[in-house]
Amino acid sequence: MLTLRRGRVTAVVSRAEGLARIEVDGVPCVAYPRLTGPVALGDEVIVNVQARELELGSGGFDVLYVNVTRGLDLPADDGAHVMKLPYTPGQAAAVHGEEGRELPQTLDGLPVVCCSLHSQVAPVCAGIGPGLRVAYVQVPGGALPVSLSDTLRTLRERGLLAVTVAAEACIDGDVHCVSAASALLWCRTEGFDVVVCGIGPGIVGTGSSFGHGGLAAAVAANAASVLGGAPVLAVRASQTDARERHRGVSHHARDVLRLCGDRVVAAWPRESPAPGWLRPVEEVDVSGWEAACAGLPLSHMGRGPEEDGLFFAAAFAAGRLARSRVG
């Protein structure tokens, strides 16, 4: 059940497109103004405190649930009637990209990079590089609001990303789509050169082989393959992860490949020896990846490129391979 508390906004720390970082009774909190309305100092609010109280990885802050002062009786978006999070307390209508148009039946070779962690997205986009129209499709498996990601805002500012699509249960993107498949087809219709598909910040995990959010990469890869795209897996790999299941090639990547078979090719940095079992694989020259990623938010489990270069180089390889496949 939900754990909700009533409080008052005691600080507005920062504002960005689609996101406000605030404090409620001195405790960090995030608000999504496009969902719960504007927020200001002194507002009476109700916040969801459960993740923080459980001390989860995603629990360093509360989430504004209702703004009692200025968030009641908010209208639905114009023309919206398809519900996000239907039949839950958070259901809200959004206009979807599939509405009022017929999408094509094929991706015509569109490269689709499939990420199992949000921290792969920045090095992937750096690997794709400038000069191409890149779309980001977010699928469930981590945070659902696209607007939570500061990484995506930075990539936009650098010209490495053009649009965000919230697929399935994800919310608050530039565009919304009912499924990962239709999101990819929407990107093809709109003329994007490459799609980067991944989960939001954080990841759902149970410590089991198939009970983790990283399997969203398999959903995206299988959809891309069946629809005639060119899926590339950004392999989760680490030199320094203390957990054996994530050291070397993570079991997340193994699990994705088990579900996809030969429908997706794994990109791997040529400068590091690839495990013999990693198939199908394409080794990629990633020379200069550090310079290409300079200034981007690179962090994975508190580690940066100096502590765990393989993680970021492997993701960069996926982006560079996708660029080479642009028709």
What are the 10-residue block averages of pLDDT along the chain, 327 residues in total? 97 97 98 97 97 82 97 94 95 96 96 97 98 98 97 98 98 98 98 98 86 94 98 88 60 90 95 87 96 93 80 97 96
pLDDT value, residue 238: 82
pLDDT value, residue 225: 98
Q: What angle do CA 252, 256, 258 make, to 5 degrees?
A: 115
pLDDT value, residue 153: 98
Rounded Cα distance, 91 and 35, in Å: 10
- Helices 180-189 and 216-226: crossing angle in degrees, nearest 10, is 50
Is it true that the peptide bond before 140 is cis, omega within 30 degrees of 0?
A: no
pLDDT value, residue 4: 98
3-class SS at 7? strand
pTM here is: 0.95
pLDDT value, residue 239: 66
Cα separations (Å) of 187 from 123, 163, 216?
21, 9, 18
Contact 283, 118 (CB under 8 A): no
Of 59, 257, 259, 72, residue with least CA distance to 268: 257
Beta strand extents in the chain (DSSP E only): 4-16, 19-24, 27-31, 44-48, 62-67, 82-84, 92-94, 111-114, 134-138, 163-167, 175-177, 194-198, 230-234, 237-238, 248-249, 265-269, 281-284
pLDDT value, residue 240: 66
pLDDT value, residue 56: 81
Tokens 């996000």 -> residue? 84
Q: Which fold has domain 4-67?
A: OB fold (Dihydrolipoamide Acetyltransferase, E2P) (2.40.50)
pLDDT value, residue 307: 77
Rounded Cα distance, 125 and 261, in Å: 25
pLDDT value, residue 290: 96
The token pair at 176 is 């919304």
